[in-house]
Structure 1
Amino acid sequence: MIAMRDDYRGESVKAVIVPRESHRGELRPEHVVAWARDHMAAYKVPRCVELADALPRSASGKVLWRVLQAEHDARPARSP
């Protein structure tokens, strides 16, 4: 989970997910949000879900969330 710009809140939660091979093509972002609404506190539910092929990892296998955050911040902002 990383932060994304939100005009109303300032920041919102964005989930970047790598689906299992058996679920590729079946998993939809709205499925993830629905699951999160049932299992997580309201402020933790992602407002945006991105499905990825892989996550950047360090040599020890930890997810490099700062790299994900930098990639997201480098993208041009969407106009409403």
Structure 2
Amino acid sequence: MLVSIRALELEFNRPIGVLQDPQGPKIRIGRLDEGKLALDAGETVCFALRDRREAVNPAASSRNIRSRLSRSGPAH
């Protein structure tokens, strides 16, 4: 997947940041209401900033990266 992302960077001449977790699954910021979070394989995870809540499926999102890049404005 990273190779595909880097190829898109070259094609669109725009940097693309990549978030990865080499340490393994850990909750590193914020607090969970119940103190724990159990996830099953293939389950969708929601990363939220402030009050914004949007479920993200990384596999489905990566298929649409080309269309999102072409619709977005210039990088700053």
TM-score by length of 1: 0.28
* Structure (1 or 2) with the larger CA radius of gyration: 2
